[in-house]
């Protein structure tokens, strides 16, 4: 009697339970958009939402949560100086405070702080002398906000020129706190205030944000103006 040989059955490949379908934005946007908003603005809630409702796999979800959290930490804690400032609504006191903050941070040893006790003016215009060759004035509009700042400089030597240029840069930093050193330097270049052009007779204008900057340089007397555009 012939012996029957049993055929070996092929092993059945394991089937994953509830396989995760591929992500489709148009189908899954009710979960994707809230997830990103919460991760960027309310990370703890965003983490929980991502864990429970993310349409992505666990690894991808973890990467997304990490990147969004990094941006949140950078925006809130690492780069606070880049917050938006309404420069059209500086009172005299707020302008002086903001200017002195920049002076202490960017030029602490140049004697360019404004001493509030030595400010002169009639309430509609602020006037202050840094030296006999360098002074600043700020004009106040009908709403009691500073809408124009002027620096008058008559440099007699290299030190005077260096101090004048730095005072211009501090006004730029006051009105455009979002700019870094290179961006502020670019504004001064456009105004022909760098690269040995302080002694040239010139007129130049440039715009950054809501501020129009201009320079009139005539026979060694330099008038730098920052004007708020409405």
The whole-number average pLDDT for the span 147-151 is: 94
Q: What's the alpha-carbon Rg for the chain, to the nearest Å?
A: 31
What is the rounded end-to-end Cα distance, in angstroms, of the chain? 107
Answer yes or no: are the C-beta atoms of 92 and 126 closer than 8 Å.
yes
Which of 64, 14, 169, 194 lies closest to 107, judged by CA? 169
- Split at pLDDT 50, 70, 90, the class of 104 is very high
Domain boundaries, the chain: 26-78, 87-228
Tell whether the model's pLDDT for residue 100 goes beyond 70.
yes
Answer yes or no: are the C-beta atoms of 171 and 224 closer than 8 Å.
yes
pLDDT at 82: 47
pLDDT digits (tens, 9 = 90+) for 9-28: 556 655 555 555 677 777 88
DSSP-derived 3-state class of residue 172: helix
Tell whether the model's pLDDT for residue 6 goes beyond 70.
no
Which of 212, 215, 217, 195 lies closest to 204, judged by CA? 215
pLDDT at 18: 53
CA distance 56 to 77: 29
pLDDT at 13: 58
The whole-number average pLDDT for the span 45-67 is: 89
pLDDT digits (tens, 9 = 90+) for 126-137: 899 999 999 999
Q: Each residue of 148-157: b (16+ CB within 10 Å) or e?
A: ebbbbbebee
- Split at pLDDT 50, 70, 90, the class of 205 is very high
pLDDT at 171: 95
The whole-number average pLDDT for the span 208-218 is: 90
The residue ranking higher by pLDDT, 29 or 79, is 29
- Above pLDDT 70, what percent of the chain? 82
């Amino acid at each position: 009697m012939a012996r029957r040989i049993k055929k070996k059955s092929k092993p059945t490949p394991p089937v994953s339970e509830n396989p995760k379908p591929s992500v489709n934005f148009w189908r899954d946007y009710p979960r994707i958009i809230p997830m990103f908003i919460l991760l960027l603005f309310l990370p703890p809630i965003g983490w929980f939402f991502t864990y429970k409702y993310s349409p992505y796999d666990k690894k991808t979800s973890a990467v997304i949560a990490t990147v969004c959290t990094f941006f949140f930490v950078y925006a809130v804690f690492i780069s606070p100086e880049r917050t938006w400032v309404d420069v059209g609504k500086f009172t005299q006191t707020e302008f002086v405070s903001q200017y002195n903050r920049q002076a202490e941070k960017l030029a602490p040893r140049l004697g360019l702080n404004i001493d509030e006790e030595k400010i002169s003016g009639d309430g509609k215009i602020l006037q202050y002398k840094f030296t006999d060759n360098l002074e600043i004035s700020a004009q106040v509009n009908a709403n009691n906000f500073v809408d124009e700042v002027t620096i008058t400089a008559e440099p007699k030597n290299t030190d005077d020129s260096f101090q004048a240029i730095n005072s211009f840069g501090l006004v730029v930093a006051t009105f455009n706190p979002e700019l870094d050193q290179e961006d502020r330097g670019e504004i001064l270049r456009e105004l022909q205030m760098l690269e040995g052009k302080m002694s040239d007779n010139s007129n130049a204008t440039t715009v950054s944000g809501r501020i129009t900057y201009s320079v009139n340089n005539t026979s060694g007397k330099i008038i730098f103006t920052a004007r708020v555009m409405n």
